[in-house]
Amino acid sequence: MRAVRLYWGLLSENDDFRRLYVGRLISFAGDWFLLVPLVGLVYEASGSALAAAAVIAAQALPALLLAPVTGLAADRFDRKKIIVISDIVRAVLALSLLAVDAVDSVWLLLVVVGLEGAGAAFFYPASTGALPNLVDADKLATANVLMSSAWGATLALGAAVGGLFATVVSRDAAFVVNAISFLVSAILVSRIGRSLQEPERTATAGLSASTHDVIRYAAGHSRIAALLTAKAVHALTSGGAVGLFAVMSFSLFDTGDGGTGVLFGARGLGNLIGPLIAFRMVGSSQRRIMGSIGYAMALWGIGYVIVGFAPSLSLAAAAVCLGHTGGGTQFAFSTYGLQALAPDQVRGRLFALDFGLDTLAIAVSALAVGALAATVPIRTLLVGLGLIGLVFGLGWSVATRRYWADLPTAT
């Protein structure tokens, strides 16, 4: 009950944080509501695991390609305006999928998905970098757990309902719902009264110099570099595994869009409960929060080893949920670490770099695993990815232990 009061207190007392939180909640739900019918549409049209994985890659790659621009924008310009414009543009793109579906072109669909990913590339660093400006330092870890759990909750609900909705109603209707979710998010964020950045801004250099600045900053701070590495390598394993959800549903379990939605929903449920459980276990100790990241990645690996052996959709979904309790915890705690340890003047560019590295890893992993799926059994790939995650998580914990030794035991 104390944890519930802690989270509810933050939401009820801080109007601006609540608007950003609910806006992201609705926007994320629309994203996952859309993804399931998109992946199913491409897989049915092409019959190719690589083409289905290309949906994940097309959504992810723009964040890498645009990272210098999106990061500089988040540190130089009004973050609230960036978030609102990003939501409006993505609403228009979601509606354009109606025309793309009518033309029945997989490649044109991937282009629109890539443009939507470009909008998300502006949204993420601006909204994530803004969070420390909306909450007090002693509530930042709590706010991050709420944000990460929101992502998991909307994934669980949006993906599961999206798969069912696309099956029972239509995929086109799912595109319309996605567009509406972006518009609602834009309205909520536009009502935030507090500034989303500090008055002093250092991102006044040109694009190239500004990008080099943030890379030098990350390379010169071992803790920051370690956190960026954790997120990127975890994405390198998880991207390929998630890219196989539609293939698992259609080819292993014969459950179609509905089964894909169940697997994405299980992923979301794990991301929802993982940070909540872990934060309750480690408390507000920065040392324990950072020190638990590697073990959370190892738990993801254990979950996906089990997925590889699961004989049914229900058991596979349970193992996916287990794995992503670790994956969600890793994401929430490493994001908190970057927010707590980096100054506001570099935070937008840092999260753009973070988002770019993550999405590069997701795209490479999804495409590589999708290509391997043509010759390597799906179950073998899943077990292999799980073992890589397990070994890396444990190794990262040992290698970075000294970085957290002098952190405070409370925020």
Which one of 78-82, 203-207, 239-243 scores highest in mean pLDDT? 78-82
> What is the model's pLDDT at position 105?
67
Separation of alpha carbons 189 and 256, rounded Å: 36
Burial of 402 (0-12, 13-18, 19+ CB in 10 A): exposed
> What is the model's pLDDT at position 169?
66
Q: What structural domains and CATH numbers belong to the chain? A: 2-404 (1.20.1250.20)
Question: Residue 372, Cβ neighbours under 10 Å: how many?
Answer: 18
> What is the model's pLDDT at position 9?
79
Choose among 234, 244, 236: nearest CA to 362.
236
Residues 90-122 as b or e (16 or more Cβ within 10 Å = b):
bbebbebbeebbeeeebeebbebbbbbbbbbbb
Q: Are 69 and 208 contacting, i.e. CB atoms less than 8 angstroms apart?
A: no
Choose among 272, 7, 9, 289: nearest CA to 142.
7
First-to-final CA distance of the chain:
21
The predicted-structure confidence for 168-191, as pLDDT tens digits, reads as follows: 666 777 788 888 889 999 999 999
Separation of alpha carbons 94 and 172, rounded Å: 10
Across 283-367, the runs of DSSP E, i.e. the strands, are none
Residue range 11-31: mean pLDDT, rounded: 82
- State the DSSP string of 275-302: HHHHHHHHTT-HHHHHHTHHHHHHHHHH
- Angle at which helices 140-168 and 256-282 cross, to 10°: 170
Question: Residue 203, Cβ neighbours under 10 Å: how many?
Answer: 20
Identify the DSSP state of 403: G
Choose among 61, 64, 392, 380: nearest CA to 241.
380
pLDDT surpasses 80 at 258? no
| pTM confidence score | 0.75
pLDDT surpasses 70 at 195? yes
